[in-house]
A and B are shown apart, each in its own frame.
Chain A
Amino acid sequence: MAAQGLNGARERLVVIGNGMAGCRAVEEILARDATRYAITIFGAEPRVNYNRIMLSPVLAGEKAFEDIIINTQEWYDANGITLVSGDAVVSIDRATCTVTSASGRVEAYDRLLIATGSEPFIIPVPGKDLEGVVAFRDLDDVDKMLAAADKGGDAVVIGGGLLGLEAAHGLSLRGMKVTVIHLMPTLMERQLDEAAGFLLKSELERRGQTILTGADTAEIIGEGGKVAGVRLKDGREIAASIVVMAVGIRPSTALAKSAGLTVERGIVVDDHMVTSDPAILSVGECVQHRGTCYGLVAPLWDMCRSLAEGATGGEAPYSGSVTSTKLKVSGIDLFSAGDFSGGEGCEDIVMRDAARGIYKRVVVKDNRLIGAVLYGDTADGSWYFDLLKREEDISDIREALIFGQAFAQGGGALADPNAAVAALSDDAEICGCNGVTKGKVVDTILGGACSLDMVRSQCKASASCGSCTGLVESLLALTLGDEVKSGPKTMCKCTSFSHDDVRRQIVEKELKAIPAVMQALTWKTPDGCASCRPALNYYLLCAWPGEYVDDQKSRFVNERMHANIQKDGTYSVVPRMWGGVTTPNELRAIADAADKYEARLVKVTGGQRIDLFGIKKEDLPAIWADLNAAGMVSGHAYGKSLRTVKTCVGSEWCRFGTQDSTGLGIKTEQMTWGSWMPHKFKIAVSGCPRNCAEATIKDFGVICVDSGYELHVGGNGGIHLRGTDLLCKVETESQALDMCAAFIQLYREQAWYLERTAPWIERVGLDYVKAQLLDDPEAVSRLAARFRYSQQFMQDDPWARRAAGEDAELHQHLAEFRPFPKPRLLENAQ
């Protein structure tokens, strides 16, 4: 093939696409053999080749079009290239080896290069064709956005990926009020993990953009043929004079497909970018190489090199690219590369510096770096990317890897974090929040503080944001060697803070979301674990009633399904029976439900209610609807919450009864049902000291006596039987109810998650609990008021919401797969 070039008659190379890939490929070919091909380039846009990825700075006003031109007309002329711009190729005839353009121009080729790139994906909603709906793909789109921005007003960007956020940033800088609508819960979810996505969202909101995640567009609203706004599927409407669709790109393959080339997601190419027709090459975002389509610029350069080698008789196969991403929004540093999904054999190294708003995560597998996400400080992004691409063994620098290149490659002593801390001067500040120097921390340790917690309480180092925890731990190790006392039970392996510290800081720092807590308290894992997520969810729910939005995915299955999972994966259902009192109607409804949903066991529980076993998850909303219809609500038999209030019949019926224990039990249950707590919570009210309701093994027990009510706390009939302690005696029902509310709230606010009242009281002491409730005459009313405030958001029957269709997907299969039965093999016939 090379012989043709030597014969003088140049081979004809026709390039479809005057974009970055097409031109780069031509440059690479020219660099290898400038005389081999006579080149013609077709471009659909009426202009020379420019750097498409720099459209964002053009929109933002940071660059002009002239600044982003890659090849001027002189370049085409100097290399003898014919540029046909503003005239798209509309067909390829492989039989005659010709292409035809929109204007009817026919060009013959020996080799054809398809570099048609990609096209924006337009979501098929009503109104997508209105004037004012634009993509963000070429300079024409930018011009339309600039024209809209000149008039000011509202803009909506659909798509919170890289492109969408850059468009939003540009429009925002141009003075528009921008709302970003993103389908997924995390911005840039393909490049960022939840933690970094949360930080990005917070920062963009701080800059005045409105970010709606988990938002699905239903329709683009028009007025006189022009865009007027966007309506979401949940009914919200957002006004807009321009709507930018930036939900993604699709390889532009129509031309190749109609020419009969092998096209899957993209145009299928080999390692030298040759398509299923050996005369036709393809490169860029339109291709699919080894099953992968790329939407970023970096792989282009590698592809073009391999293409040029192949097209000029050389060999340098393309083997795919590892890509990295940087967001081009000024002032926001964000970088991601490789695979950061973690998992088997992977170790996450996470560093969070809450004070400076930094989150760094690198993923290591088999002593190699395989992924990185950096937010706030991306200086080491290229270094990590380099380590990743070169698959370098990082075992020597592993300890210091997360601190970046300067630290990790400081070599020898510096690569050991302890040694690095040892090298600091005594005046060096360890804790920025509390202004504590290294000297002071060391003095505190020498003065007897032998654990992290003691250092924290004595000199305050690492007691606030906690980002210097690692430094303090190093100082402990350096100063005391083996004598370091491991701190008192941290919440879990994801954090160095105890439950109490986490709860205190949630309130002090006004942290109102799980990712916010993880960032501010420098969590060591990206998204926590099965222990800390439910605990944090509860702590936030308790600290911010009415404000915090419950995180379903951080709840144990029973609380997510509002029923108790059984060993066979079915559920048991327990409707509430106030004070253990029921009616014939309720019993009939329960019996009907048991029949209808084929309950395999109907069991009276220890808490004076009826439990229906063997209910399928798909049937739960329906059985709840039936029980609701008979006036019954969820019994919360599944929750870390108020379970039942057990009663005896009391003075109304019993000849020994001293008070209306049933009535008080019902009032107590009506006051306390629905409240989330650190653990399950049981109440009982007995009408006399014979104690038929077994009140002295409950979390809160009332024993009625002639002169009033004895209130008992901290009982437990579980693994460790514990009788209650007498808290106090009160004279009236309303005092008993207030004390119950106050005690529950104290427990809710102070116990650790999954700590029942019995171990809690043993830990803090009965005297402490009594002092909190009884010393200050106002304490009970304050605590009770906080409990009642919180209850107004909690007493909302979760069964009724599910029965009405909320979270329906939790109860439904995704689909059902019925493989077509295979024809039976004729094994027996042989």
Chain B
Amino acid sequence: MIGAPVTGEWIDIGPVTQISPGNARTLPVQGGEEIAIFHTMDNQFYALVNKCPHKHGPLSQGIVHGTVVTCPLHSWNISLKTGEAQGDDKGCVPTIPVRVDAGRIYLLREALVTARAPEKAA
């Protein structure tokens, strides 16, 4: 987790073992955006709206290296920590605060419900 402690209601989405390191899985949100939850090789967990800011490629299907995921459609590199496109690409996808406690993954409800996909890049 980054920055100041985030407060609010945390939604338990199950044990950490559901996502092996280097992989991601998805969580559809009814009336909202599908969320991609990542488990990095360093055993950190991150959650992003599952849409690349470029052409809405499913980030959950990209290769994870360090704290970056490479989008499967056009290889944009997206920071898992901030959702920002890396390098010369410009764009940002909303992140969802994640907490891991006693082997379970929690996402901040408010962010889950309100996150919206960015406009596709031109």
Contacts and interface: CB of A to CB of B under 8 A. Distances in A.
Interface string B23-35: 1011111111001
Interface string A277-317: 00000000000001100000000000000000000000000
A461 B112 CA distance: 54
A19 interface: no
A567 interface: yes
Interface in A171-228: 183-186, 189-190, 193-194, 214, 216
A66 interface: no
A343 B21 contact: no
Contact of B17 (A183, A527, A555, A813): A183
B100 to A, nearest CB: 10
Contact of A527 (B25, B41, B44, B61): B41
Nearest to A264: B101
A814 interface: yes
Given A813-B26, A819-B29, A557 B62 contact: yes
Contacts of B23: 552-553
Contact of B19 (A189, A341, A344, A814): A814
B20 A185 contact: yes
Interface string A802-825: 000000010011111111010000
B13 A819 contact: no
A807 B21 CA distance: 14
Interface in A223-260: 248, 250
Interface in B50-97: 55-58, 61-68, 70, 72-73, 75, 77, 79-82, 84
A494 to B, nearest CB: 9
A553 B64 CA distance: 8
A101 B79 CA distance: 53
Contacts of B21: 184-186, 189, 194, 553
A530 to B, nearest CB: 4
Q: Is the interface on chain A under 10, 10 to 19, 20 to 34, or 35 or more residues?
A: 35 or more
Nearest to A265: B101
B91 to A, nearest CB: 14
A526 interface: yes
Contacts of B82: 343-344
A554 interface: yes
Interface in A567-608: 567, 569
A812 B70 CA distance: 21
A155 B96 CA distance: 42
Given A290-B5, A819-B32, A565 B61 contact: yes
Contacts of B84: 344
A780 to B, nearest CB: 37
Contacts of A569: 56-58, 61
Looking at chain A's contact residues, is the secondary structure mostly helix, strand, loop, or mixed? loop
Interface residues of B, number: 54
Contacts of A809: 18-19, 25
Contacts of A9: none
A262 to B, nearest CB: 15
A556 B69 CA distance: 12
B121 interface: no
A154 interface: no
A561 B22 CA distance: 15
Contacts of B18: 809, 814
Nearest to B110: A819
Contacts of B80: 343
Contact of A343 (B19, B66, B73): B66
A342 B62 contact: no
Contacts of B28: 813, 816-817
Nearest to A569: B58
Contacts of A290: 5
A94 to B, nearest CB: 27
Contacts of B37: 814
A710 interface: no
Contacts of A534: 63
Contacts of A528: 65
Given A194-B41, A556-B72, A819 B27 contact: no
A250 B102 contact: yes
Given A184-B43, A817-B30, A819-B32, A556 B101 contact: no
Nearest to B20: A185
Contacts of A194: 21, 41-42
A193 B22 CA distance: 12
Interface string A507-527: 000000000000000000111
A529 B65 contact: yes
Contacts of A342: 42, 66-67
Nearest to A527: B41
Contacts of A681: none
A359 interface: no
A814 B13 contact: yes
Contacts of B17: 183-184, 216
B43 A190 contact: yes
A560 B22 CA distance: 13
B6 to A, nearest CB: 10
24 contacts: A184-B17, A185-B21, A193-B42, A248-B103, A265-B101, A291-B5, A340-B42, A343-B66, A343-B67, A343-B79, A343-B80, A343-B82, A344-B67, A344-B82, A527-B66, A528-B65, A529-B65, A529-B68, A534-B63, A552-B23, A553-B20, A809-B25, A817-B35, A817-B112
Interface of A: 183-186, 189-190, 193-194, 214, 216, 248, 250, 265, 290-291, 340-344, 346, 348, 525-530, 533-534, 552-558, 560-561, 565, 567, 569, 809, 812-819, 821
Interface of B: 5, 11, 13-14, 17-23, 25-32, 35, 37, 40-44, 55-58, 61-68, 70, 72-73, 75, 77, 79-82, 84, 101-103, 109, 112-113
Given A189-B21, A809-B19, A818-B30, 18 more contacts: A185-B20, A343-B80, A343-B81, A344-B67, A527-B22, A527-B65, A530-B77, A552-B23, A553-B63, A556-B72, A558-B72, A561-B61, A567-B55, A567-B73, A809-B18, A814-B13, A817-B28, A819-B29
